[in-house]
């Protein structure tokens, strides 16, 4: 069985010795002078360069139009048949300014397609992460106009309707992309609502961004542990920009 190779085992000197020659084959990609080995070389150089420069440090990136900043803990690559599989672990992540405490991303069926720009494709992304309840509720409050949500005692969420005098205490859990909400009690104008009015049917989570699917999300203390997956994605990057970003420690860009 193939195992991950860890680019951290390479030295920074070995990477920098390649950087001058790196751009020469990149320039040849447009002319079609590509060998079967080239994607392996590029993947090794990219992962080695990024991990050697940013491993254990903060890295900033623009990924398909989204800004992120995080500490890079792990970046591993292994070949799986004709494609690659990558594993990335980030902590202290800010994704479009929304904080996620820890995120592990495993990309399956990764392909590098040489050219100008170079394309990268992944058949599927599996994500596992930890986010604080407060951060999650703040994110939800930013995109829905009707309710203001905040953490409550005993692992519950307090929901206040912004226009109507309705308050509710509830808990929620996601399993197999279905949201189940259990309302413990609700009040309207200080009058407690009958229990039959607080029973909600499970809600399928369709129409999520990038066709994401949340397989599970549950609360553990003041945090939410979640798992999700995304279908195939495609991006492009400029090798010269990536090389410069690694050497200078600036923003990595995938568009």
Report pLDDT digits (tens) over 120-159. 999 999 999 999 999 988 887 877 778 788 888 888 888 8
Report pLDDT digits (tens) over 59-102. 999 998 899 999 999 999 999 888 999 999 999 999 988 999 99
Q: State the Cα–Cα distance between residues 41 and 189, nearest whole angstrom.
A: 67
Q: Decide if 105 contacts 125 (C-beta within 8 A).
A: yes
Q: Tokens 């720009």 appear where? A: 117
Report pLDDT digits (tens) over 104-123. 999 999 998 888 888 999 99
Q: pLDDT-derived band of residue 164, with 50, 70 and 90 as boundaries?
A: confident
Q: State the Cα–Cα distance between residues 254 and 63, nearest whole angstrom.
A: 5
Residue 53: Cβ within 10 Å count = 19
Q: What is the DSSP string of 54-88?
A: HBTSEEEEEETTEEEEEEEEEEEEEEETTEEEEEE
Distance between start and end Cα atoms, the chain: 33
């Amino acid at each position: 069985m193939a195992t991950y190779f860890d680019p951290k085992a390479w030295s920074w000197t070995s990477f920098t010795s390649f950087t001058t020659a790196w751009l020469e084959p990149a320039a040849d990609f447009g002319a079609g002078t590509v060998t079967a080995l080239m994607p392996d070389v590029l993947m090794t150089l990219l992962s080695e360069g990024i991990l050697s420069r940013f491993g254990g440090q903060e890295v900033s990136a623009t990924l398909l139009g989204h800004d992120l900043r995080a500490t890079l803990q792990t970046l591993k690559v292994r070949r799986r048949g004709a494609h690659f599989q990558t594993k990335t672990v980030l902590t202290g992540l800010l994704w479009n300014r929304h904080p996620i405490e820890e995120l592990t991303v495993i990309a399956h069926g990764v392909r590098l397609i040489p050219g100008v720009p170079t394309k990268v494709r992944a058949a599927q992304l599996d994500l596992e992460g930890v986010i604080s309840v407060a951060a999650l509720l703040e994110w939800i409050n930013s995109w829905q106009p009707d309710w203001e949500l905040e953490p409550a005692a005993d692992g519950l969420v307090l929901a206040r309707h912004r226009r109507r005098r309705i308050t509710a205490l509830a808990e929620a859990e996601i399993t197999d992309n279905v949201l189940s909400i259990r309302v413990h009690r609700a009040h309207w104008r200080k009058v407690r609502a009958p229990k039959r009015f607080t029973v909600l049917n499970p809600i399928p989570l369709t129409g999520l961004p990038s066709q994401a699917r949340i397989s599970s999300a549950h609360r553990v203390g003041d945090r939410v542990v979640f798992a999700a997956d995304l279908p195939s994605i495609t991006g492009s990057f400029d090798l010269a920009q990536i090389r410069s970003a690694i050497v200078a420690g600036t923003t990595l860009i995938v568009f």
